[in-house]
């Protein structure tokens, strides 16, 4: 009898211990999801405050926002106001401010489309006081540059998030009218942006054409991209052979990414052309690795690729944009050195580049460095990178003033762009419908499951929209290659599958179709009573 009691006690103890050990991972995951929710709450509220701060300075007559709040307060332009600031008012409002999204954001697009076209559908700078174009003379170089920037930095990210929309329609009509100026820009006249403007325009166009080929299925976009790439991928004009100045940061690095994007497109759609380009693409990337990096694998702003000397010691905050190109080529050509270079750079961030003075302390510098790193971390989840991202987002957020304004120029939009990306990582791509400023929504993945935490200081009822493989469903891409101005995919739902859903406040287990999760899963929470949702494939 005594032995039986002892065995019974041992059995009970074993059950308790095993239950505790079994539950511990999910308990820790719940705690992390709650912490993520606090970060998301702060980040999303900051983005809303940014939109509300900037809309106060919109022109009363047109509703368009100015280029900046100092010397360029009187006009809207394509390559700054439209490309870098306005789109992230659109994206913020599409997630968090539905009324603004349906009204002010869309009306700005309609007004811009009505007032700013000057060559076909291509936009030119618009003066609020003149109630017309800022410049009397048509400068086709500025117009094509502004059009390329507006598409690549402004309309592409909106399209990658929303898919087909009035904004994607605007991009396609601009793209179709670029040949009214030139299909291939061989010289940007004047020195209003420096010598890098020509390669920047062509790099922008290559990125837009590559993505719009998959988005629309129009072969003429691929053919046009091939025409531009052929101009550069040869012994005479290869970026690492044609000039003593190679810019590896923005306003220069676009040609590197653009050539690699069209190269990836050709891998799937024009393999003979891809094979002809392969030696040049590899030569360009190999030379950049040879002469363009510091000891930690981060790129310098600018180098002389001919003699291998650095033209500056400052590091490019856009290092992630260039490593996107390397990783894309790695995905299709399996060159180990390209992945290894990226891993080396990422692995150095947390130990050597916390609080680094990106771009002389500009919020835009922090935003670009974080954005590029998020893109790469999405593919190579190095543990130390998570710590670095969590640290550096606070450096970015410190740049915001109490009224919601960041620095009062077009780069403020990138504050919201990167903050939204960071928050979507912390929600694993889940977007709330009916946002509430007190709502805390966070998520983590644990052992194949998605664990979602919801909390609020007041009762809340709303809808959670889970993420889809947008690269395929919205954009039509063959693979989810890393690229600038995308919104990363974390936990994605297959519309054709079913999922097991368990709520912490109910003993019931639900079987929910993927399509339902994508369209919106309704949920309610009580004040100060966290709700946890566990989800995994059936």
pLDDT at res. 18: 40
SS3 state of residue 484: coil
pLDDT of residue 191: 52
Cβ atoms of 284 and 256 closer than 8 Å: yes
Report pLDDT digits (tens) over 332-384. 999 999 999 999 999 999 999 999 999 988 999 999 999 999 999 999 999 99
Domain extents in the chain = 49-182, 200-404, 436-466+493-537
pLDDT of residue 190: 56
Q: What span, in angstroms and rounded, lies between the C-alpha atoms of 40 and 38?
A: 5
Least Cα distance to 323 among 351, 304, 360, 298 occurs for: 298
CB–CB of 140/119 below 8 Å? Answer: yes
Tens digits of residue pLDDT in 40-80? 999 999 999 999 999 999 999 999 999 999 999 999 999 99
- Give the per-residue pLDDT at 148: 97
Three-state SS sequence of 370-402: HHHHHHHHCCCCCHHHHHHHHHHHHHHHCCCCC
Q: What pLDDT score was predicted for residue 13?
A: 44
What pLDDT is stored for residue 186 in this prediction? 85
Calculate ∠ Cα 531-532-536, nearest 5°.
150
Sheet with 75-76: strands ordered across? 75-76, 126-127, 132-133
pLDDT for the residue numbered 97: 98
59-86 burial, b for 16+ CB within 10 Å, e for fewer? Answer: beebbbbbbbeeebeebbbbbbbbbbbb
CA–CA distance, 447 with 105 (Å, rounded to integer): 40
- Round to whole Å and give the CA distance between 334 and 40: 36
Q: Decide whether 200-404 matches 436-466+493-537 in CATH topology.
A: no
Which CATH class name applies to 200-404? Answer: mainly alpha
Q: How confident is the model at residue 189, as a pLDDT? A: 66
State the distance between the two ends of the chain, measured CA to CA, in whole angstroms: 46
Q: What is the mean pLDDT of each run of 10 residues along the chain (538 residues)?
A: 48 42 72 98 98 98 97 97 98 98 98 98 98 96 96 98 98 98 82 70 97 98 98 97 94 96 98 98 98 98 95 96 98 98 98 95 96 98 98 98 98 98 98 95 95 97 97 98 97 97 95 97 97 96
Beta partners for 316?
none
Sheet hosting strand 431-433, strand order edge to edge: 431-433, 460-465, 521-525
Residue 391: exposed, middle, or buried by beta-carbon count in 10 A (0-12, 13-18, 19+)? middle
Which residues are CB-neighbours of 445 under 8 A, at least 6 positions away?
A: 428, 451, 490, 491
Q: Which CATH class is domain 436-466+493-537?
A: mainly beta
Residues 246-296: tens digit of each pLDDT: 999 999 999 999 999 999 999 999 999 999 999 999 999 999 999 999 999
Query: In 3D, which of 473, 517, 524 has the Cα closest to residue 499?
Result: 517
Contact 387, 350 (CB under 8 A): yes
């Amino acid at each position: 009898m005594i032995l039986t009691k002892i065995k019974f006690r041992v059995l009970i103890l074993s059950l308790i211990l095993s239950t505790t050990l079994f539950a511990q991972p999910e308990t820790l995951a719940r705690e992390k999801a709650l912490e993520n929710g606090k970060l998301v709450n702060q980040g999303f509220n900051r983005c809303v405050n940014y939109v509300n701060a900037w809309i106060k300075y919109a022109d009363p007559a047109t509703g368009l926002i100015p280029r900046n709040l100092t010397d360029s307060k009187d006009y809207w332009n394509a390559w700054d106001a439209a490309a870098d600031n306005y789109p992230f008012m659109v994206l913020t409002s599409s997630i968090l401010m539905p009324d603004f999204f349906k009204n002010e954001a869309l009306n700005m697009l309609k007004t811009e489309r009505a007032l700013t076209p000057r060559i076909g559908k291509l936009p030119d700078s618009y003066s609020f006081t003149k109630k017309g174009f800022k410049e009397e003379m048509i400068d086709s170089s500025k117009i094509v540059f502004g059009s390329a920037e507006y598409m690549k930095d402004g309309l592409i990210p909106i399209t990658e998030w929303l898919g087909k929309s009035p904004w994607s329609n605007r991009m396609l009509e601009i793209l179709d009218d670029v040949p009214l100026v030139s299909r291939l820009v061989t010289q940007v006249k004047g020195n209003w942006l420096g010598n890098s403007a020509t390669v920047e325009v062509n790099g922008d166009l290559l990125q837009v054409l590559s993505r719009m080929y998959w988005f629309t299925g129009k072969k003429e976009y691929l053919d046009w991209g091939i025409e531009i790439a052929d101009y550069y991928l040869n012994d005479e004009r290869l970026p690492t052979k044609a000039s003593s100045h190679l810019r590896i940061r923005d306003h220069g690095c676009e040609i590197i990414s653009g050539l690699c994007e069209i190269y990836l497109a050709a891998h799937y759609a024009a393999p003979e052309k891809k094979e002809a380009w392969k030696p040049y693409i590899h030569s360009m990337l190999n030379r950049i690795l040879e002469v363009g990096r510091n000891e930690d694998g981060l790129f310098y702003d600018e180098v002389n690729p001919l003699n291998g000397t650095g033209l500056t010691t400052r590091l490019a905050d856009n290092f992630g944009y260039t490593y996107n190109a390397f990783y894309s080529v790695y995905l299709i050509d399996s060159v180990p050195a390209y992945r290894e270079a990226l891993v080396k750079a990422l692995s150095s961030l947390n130990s050597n580049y916390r609080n680094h003075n990106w771009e002389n302390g500009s919020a835009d510098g922090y935003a670009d460095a974080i954005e590029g790193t998020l893109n790469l971390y999405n593919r190579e989840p190095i543990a130390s990178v998570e710590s670095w991202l969590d640290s550096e987002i606070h450096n970015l957020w410190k740049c915001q003033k109490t009224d919601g304004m960041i620095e009062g120029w077009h780069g403020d939009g990138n504050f919201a762009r990167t903050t939204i990306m960071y928050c979507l990582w912390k929600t694993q791509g889940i977007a709330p419908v009916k946002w509430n400023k007190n709502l805390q929504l966070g998520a983590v993945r644990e052992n194949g499951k998605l664990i979602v935490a919801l909390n609020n200081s007041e009762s809340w009822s709303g809808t959670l929209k889970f993420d889809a493989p947008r690269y395929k469903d919205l954009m039509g891409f063959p693979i989810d290659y890393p690229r600038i101005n995308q919104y990363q995919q974390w936990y994605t739902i297959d519309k054709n599958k079913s999922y097991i859903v368990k709520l912490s406040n109910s003993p019931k287990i639900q079987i929910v179709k993927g399509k339902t999760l994508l369209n919106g899963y309704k949920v309610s929470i009580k004040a100060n009573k966290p709700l946890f949702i566990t989800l995994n494939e059936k």
